[in-house]
Structure 1
C-alpha cells in the first residue's frame, strides 16, 4: 500500500452531545451562528431561531490566539494525569456526553465558539470555558490515503523475490544435495568460456581499430597517390575513430547481454525444489 498526499488538511472535531446542548442552552444570548454549528444543531434535533444570523465559512476570519504558557503551567500544575471525573464517570454519563455522528466542526467554528464564550463570561451569563466543552469531543486529524499497488508490479516483485530465495536456497544446500553440486555456472570450464568470449570481443575491437587506421594511412595513399605524411595520419585517425565508435556500440551491447545472462536465475534441475519463502527451507538431518 502506498500513501498519497493529504487531500483535506483541515482538522475536524466531532461535536459531543454536551457541546451541542450547551450551545442550544445559550441560543437566546447569541446573535450569530456559524453554518457548521447550525447544521450540527439541526441534525441532532435542536432548532435554530430565525433571529440568529447564519455565518458562512468566508465570514469566519479569526487571528490565531497566543497561548500564555505561564498561565497554562500555573493552571495545570496540580492537574493529575488521569482526571478523577473521567475515570469515575459512569457509562450512562459517557453516552450522554460522548461524540455524536453527523456534522463536523472546524477550527474557525472553535475560534467563534471561544469568542462567544468569552463574551458570555464577561456578561456573567455562564462560567464555562472552551476546554470543558470539547473534552468529550472526538478530534480527527488529517491522514494520508492509501492507494493499492499496481497488481502487475506486485506480481513481478513477488516473482523476483521467489527467484532470489530459490538462488539462496540452492547456494545454501549445494553441499548437502548431490544434484546441486555440479551446476554448469559454477564449473571452471564455464567461467573460462565466459572469459574467452570477453577477451575475443576486446581483441576484435583492437584489431578493427588497427585495421581502420591502416586503411586510412596506407590504403588511401595507394588508391589516390602520394599524400603528405600529416594528412595520411589524419585520415587514419578519422577512419579508426569511426570504426572505434561503431565497435564500442556493439561491444557494449554484447557485454550488456552477458550481464543479463549472469543476473538471470540459474537453470533449475529436475530434482531441485521450488521455494516460495524462507519458511519452506527444511534443515538437513543426517
Structure 2
C-alpha cells in the first residue's frame, strides 16, 4: 500500500505538471493533496515497516518529536487543501462564469502558502509542549509512530495543557475546516437542485463525488484515532486503535489517486494518452 501510495501520487503530480490542459484550479489543488499524501505516508510507513520486519523499535526522542511535528503539520495542511477544494467546487458550480477570475494562479498559490503557514503556526507549539515535560519509567509508545498525546502520556508531569491545546487545535482548526466544507456542499446542493435538467444535475454532482469520498476517508479515521487517544483508552480495544492508526497513513494516500483517476475523465484520458505514447515509443 505504501508503494502504491507513493508511485500513484507521484504519477498524479507528474501528469498534472506536464499536461497544460490540467493546469486548472481543481487539478492544481489535487497535486497539492497528492504531495501532502506522499509526505504523510513517507513520514510514517518506513518506520512502521522497520518495526514489523526488523523489530527496529527504538527511536531517539528528537526523531520522535520530529515525526510527531510532521504528522500533525501534514494533517493540518491536507485539511486546508480539502477545504480549498470544496471552495473550488463551490465557485465552479455556483459561480461558473466567474470561476477563472476568482481562482487565478495567484490566488491558488496564496491559498497553498496560507495552508503551510497555518500548519506551522498551530503545530510548532506541540514541540514545546512535549519538550517541557519530564519523562520517567519505561518510554514505550503503544503505537508504531509518534503522535502528540502518545508522547505526552509517557510523562510524569501534568499533561492538562497538552490535552487542552490538542483539543483546541482539533476543534478550532480542523473542526472549522469541516464546518466550512459542509457549508460549501450545502450551498452546492442548494444550487444543483435548482437546475431543471436531471442530466445537468448529475454532471454537477459527479464532479463533487470523488472529493466527497476523499473527505470521508481523510476525516473519519483521523478523528477516530484522535478521540480514541484522549477518551477511548479503556473502551476501544487497543489492537483496533493501532490497526486503524496504521491504515490511516497508507490507505487514504493509496486510494486518492485511484478515486480521482476513476472518477475524473480528464485524468483518465491524459493517463491513457501518456501510456499510449510510451508504448508507441518502445
TM-score when normalising by structure 2: 0.22
TM-score when normalising by structure 1: 0.22
Q: Which has the higher helix share?
A: 2
Q: Which has the higher contact order (CA 8 A, sep 6+)?
A: 2
Q: Which has the higher strand share?
A: 1
